[in-house]
Each structure stands twice: as C-alpha cells, then as structure tokens.
Structure 1
Amino acid sequence: MNQDEFKVSVVIAHYNAGEYIRKALDSLVRQTMPQEDFEIIIVDDKSTQPLDIIQAYRDKISHLKVIIEEKNHGYPSIPRNHGIDNARGTFVMLMDQDDNLADDTLQAFVTFAGDDSDVIIGKYAAGKKFNGTQVPFKIRHNIKNADMVKNHILSTLAPHKMYRRSMLNAHHVRFYDSGYIPVEEDQVFNIKAYSVARNISILADKNYYFWNQRDDFGNLGKSSTYTYDEPWKFLNILSEVFTIVESSPKWTTELKSRLKAMYIGRLFNSAYTDVLEIIKIQKNEQQRGILIAGLREIINKRMAYPSLWDVPQASQWLVLGIKEGMNYDELLNLKTELFLPSRLLVEHTYFLNGKHVRDMNIKGQFYPVPIDFLEDSAPIDVC
C-alpha cells in the first residue's frame, strides 16, 4: 500500500470533459488547504479529445498526476479504482469531472474527520443547476458520528465524498467492474464503505459540493449505457447490496434488516428508478418474467415478513405484490387500484401501527397497505 504523503488525494475520472473540467480544477486551485498537502489524480478513460486543458493546469497545481487508461471502459468505475490505487493521501476525495468544490472543502473535511471518521459527507448545493439529495443536510449542523437511519445516510449514495484511504484498502472497498454492476455502481461502493466505517460524518453547515447539471446534459453519469435494460443489471445490484449489509461487522441484526428494507424501497421508487418502468423496458415478456422472478426470490429468501413494514410506503405495495407472486400486469392493476382518487379509498381503510392503511387484494388474500404516502406521491429525494 502506498505510504501517506499528502492529507488528501482528489481522484477524478475523466472522459472528454473539454471545457467543463475547468470549473473543477479552478475550485481545486482555490482550496484553502496548502497545495503541498494534497494531490490531484485525473484518470482519463482513453478520451478521443486532447488533454490540453488539463495539462495547462500543471503551472497552477503543484501535484497533478494524469493517468491514461490503456483502453476505454465506458464507465467511471475502473478509472476511479485506478485513482484510488495510485493515491498517496490519508484521505481520498472522489469528484466528478464537471463539478466543483467550495474553497475550504478539503481543509474542512480533513479537520472535521480527525482520527476517527472514515467517511465524510458534505452538503450538496441545491438549485436548478445542481443535483443531489438534501435530506441528510436539512438539520443544517455538522454531525460527527451520524446514524444510518436517523440521519438518512442511505439517501446519499453518490460518490462525491471523502474516504479514509486505510479504510478503503483494509476492507477492499472498490467499485465493481461494469460487467457485474454497470448501473448505480456508486451505491454499492458507498454501502460497502458505510458498512465498515468507524464513523460517518456529515458537514451540513454550508454548501461544500456543487454537483453541476451541464447545459448539454453530458455528465459522466448520464450515459445512455446507464440503463436497466436486462434483468441481471437490476438483480445484481440488489443482491450485492443485501450481501454487503448482511456481512457488515458493525451493524446489528435488527439494523441490517431495517437497512435492507429501506434500500429496496429506495431502489424500487426514487427520482432515478421506478421498478415498474424497469420491468417495462425489458426486451420481451420472458425477460420481464425473469426479472420479477429474480426479485421475488431475493425478497422471499432474504427479507423476513415483519421487515416489510420498514420499506418506505411508496414502495411497500410493490415489494408485497412481487413477494406474493404478482406478474407485471397484476402489479399495474394494483397500482391503478391503489392510486384511485382518495374519495374512492374509504372502503377497507383503517389505522394500524400508527399508519393509515387499506386492505388490498393481492393474489386472493387481503393485506394492509399503507396509503399515507398518497398525499404526496412525488419521488423520494435521493442521489
């Protein structure tokens, strides 16, 4: 393992960013941390355009390293891994090629981390031009040892964070190859990091990370190849996340059960994924059946029935329908029935465990389905 020579190694996966990378590099030039304390590692995924803009920053950045991949991978996973492998900082800061940092981000993160925080999460900027969840940061003050549930850590699974490099190496926290996890690779990476981190810290007192929405919508994570168009892509990520959660050396059995329920809820219904749409875009009816059957197997084998009550309401009915053997058309009919106007939902509704539920017929048996979420059916704010 490389010895620590810097406080931070900033790792940026790059591909044909052109002028858009200037904002990222300019923000690194402006960092209040002395330049001798950090390095910047740009891993280029065999761009088809010259790297002149990056090379021009060698006069402005004391420790700038450019690694060029031998072949194009088409995904940021392997370039990020190579950046981590070559890092010499106590911490690794992962940053996208078209984003930027507040001027004091590196210094603030390292100072707050101290000797015991292994993952440091900074508040994303909010606004029309910025992406990123705001849920964990609404409390607006910094948290040294954040709670996975109370502080909504599963709401922030994007890779724009700082990680203690010794933790990444000791537990082999790396991005999976795109041949196994080609979509949402950052979710698997972060859940692995969370599962072994001593402390997870949140800095919410100000905007630290500016996750920019480009005018041309050409962000690295917006590639047309990022799609769940084959069953294995969706099944692999859910199965791998469950395996990581189940294998955590620090989480209790009760917390593991709850985190699995929370995660499947997020995966099934968020601003970026809708399981019914994912089933729909499969290539044919056979593929749709394979996906649903695979999901049913994971749910039945790896989730106890009581834990279904911990699934976020917007997804709970979907998980229950798939668990009980509904096919795609049946799930669509269940959705139609569930989303009927509220005036038609009076029958079979009551309160159970503090939730407003409605008994719904699923494969010939009535199940209580929470319906409070119907008052605000907007997608969950996640990244």
Structure 2
Amino acid sequence: MKYITEYRDTELAKKIIKDIKAEVQSDKSYRLMEFCGGHTHVISRYGLEGVLPENVRMIHGPGCPVCVMPIGRIDSAIELALEHGATVCTYADCMRVPASGGLSMMKAKAQGGDIRMVYSASDCLEIARANPDKNVVFFAIGFETTTPATAVVLKQAKAEGLKNFFVFCNHVLTPAAMNHILQNDEKVHIDGFVGPAHVSTIIGSEPYETFARDHHKPVVIAGFEPLDMLQSILMLIRQINKGEAKVENEFIRAVKPEGNTKALKMVHEVFALRDSFEWRGLGSVPNSALKLSDAYSEFDAEKRFGLKYRRVPDNKACECGAILRGEKHPSDCRAFGTVCTPENPIGSCMVSSEGACAAYFNYGRHKRA
C-alpha cells in the first residue's frame, strides 16, 4: 500500500540502522524527545529502542492529549453530567481516565450521568439537533490536530442558531509545551526533538524554528512509520554531530512549512488564547491552550454552567507526571503492570491509545521483564 509498505521495508530499515550506528560517536550522548504519542507507540511496537546504540536514548514527551489532561478538567466534565444534567459527549479514550473520588466518566455514566462516546465532534452536534430539549456539551480535547474539527462544528452551530449545543474546550498547543519543557530542563536534558506528525500537518514546520534559533535544539518532523522514525533519528544525530540546530522535515509527503492555512484561519476565528492552562505533569503552562473567542462565547460550557476549575493532585502511586516530563520511563513506576494496567488504570498514561505506559505495556513489558 502506497506510503505504508515502502516505509516498512526490512532491507531499508537495516541500512538506516547501519547508518545510525556508523554516525553515532561513542563519546557523545544523544537524548532525543519524541513529543507525539503516536511516535511513542511506533517506537515500542516495532522495537526501535532495541536496535539503537546504547548512547541514543528516546525520551517520551507529553504528546498524548488524554494523558496531559489534569484531573480537575475530568471532574468538571463529570460535574456537567451529574450536577447540571447535561449530555456530555467525548472520545472513547477519555471515558476511563481516573478522576476524583474513584470516579471516571465511565463510572459517572454508570451512576446515571448522560455521558456518551462519540467518534467525532459532528456526532455531538447531531445529538444536540436530535434533542433540542437537552443541553449537549462536547468535551473537546486534543492538540492542534483536532482543533479544526471543533471549529467546524462551532461554525455550524452558530449558522444554525442552536441554543442547546456547547463546547467544554480543552484544546492544548504543542509548541508552548515544548518550550515549557526546555525552560525547565534541569532534570531532563534534551539534545533534539522528533517533531510531531499530525500536529505539523496543521501548524506546519515554521513554529518549531524558535527551538532551533533560540534554544539551539534541532527538530526533525517525522511520519508514523518505522522508517520515518529511524530516518528522523539519523537526521537528528547528524545535526548534533555537526553542532547544528535547524528544523528539518522528514514527513514531506504531508507537512508544508506554512501548514494548513485554511484550517489555521478557521481556528483563529473561533478560538482565542488562554493566559494559562494546567497540564498533567507540567503544571500551569502560559499561553498553552485555547478557549472560545468572544464571537463564539454563547457556546462556551464553562461560562454557561459556571464551571470553576479546581486543581486536584495525582494519585501518589502514579508516576504519570514524571513520565510526561520525560524524567522517567513507564517501567520505572512501581505500579506499572501490577496494580496499574489498561484494564485497571490508576493514571492516564495507561488509558489512552497514545499513552506511553499503554505502549510499554502492550509492546514491551515481556522483553524488559
């Protein structure tokens, strides 16, 4: 299949691995952070860490939108359903994220809350149209990848004059989180970034220039296939060896420097920048998330239902925060694979299909044991 088969070619993989080993200098340490949760799963699924030289280490960043959502935001979604009687719609990954009081959206649903899994934001809009007597709230999460889809349904709701459709906006921004990590680099030294794929199809490669220019950190935007990852790692190693720091685009088949200008224009119309937003593991990060713009404030669930954010500490047994910051690997957590499993998660990193703990559990735990 085009763009898949040729990026899983065994002989090409062997050649790139050989080139990586030839380029790596024994007296150097290469600490590369892949920001995207999809990349973390590619690395684990195809065993890429096992073929890299020992001094090339992949550090897993906060690139899973479900994982970085703090408990307080999940609590607010449950509050909408249980206390305000709203119909809350969200993606399936969010349903099992542990919240306060032993709850999750799934458990709140079992208690009588009208919380529904949807495949897309437009599904939620359909529910609002079909139930004009109910307040319907879309629990919108995701990086820049999913933000345009939320913008589309908001524009549709406004055009139709819907009065019972609302959005609880939790869209977060990738470059702000990357910058925050570099500003707090005491515990995690990073030599280069594997830039996210889907996010970059929207925002392009230009927003990463600041990391090369101001922080002297190379960035290589990578696709999702194993050869994409290996080639991107090779490109980063070559930059580090030369003392260079620039933005390179390995994922040229999908990413343009300017990104998707039509999608970006729509996002800028519908959303505005939040002054600050709490990320699980990172704390409050300035200018790192979106809210509805004044022109769309009538659809803002936080304003309509008077939601007040309450910060809630993570479970003391959970190392999700340190894992999301890149300070620890999933297998460093004492709860990993024992009391914390995909069937019984105590942290969000074990829940999501993009979570680092889920990747390690599904693809790598037996090898490490």
TM-score surpassing 0.5? no
**TM band (smaller chain):** under 0.3
Q: Which has the larger radius of gyration?
A: 1
Higher relative contact order (CA 8 A, sep 6+): 2
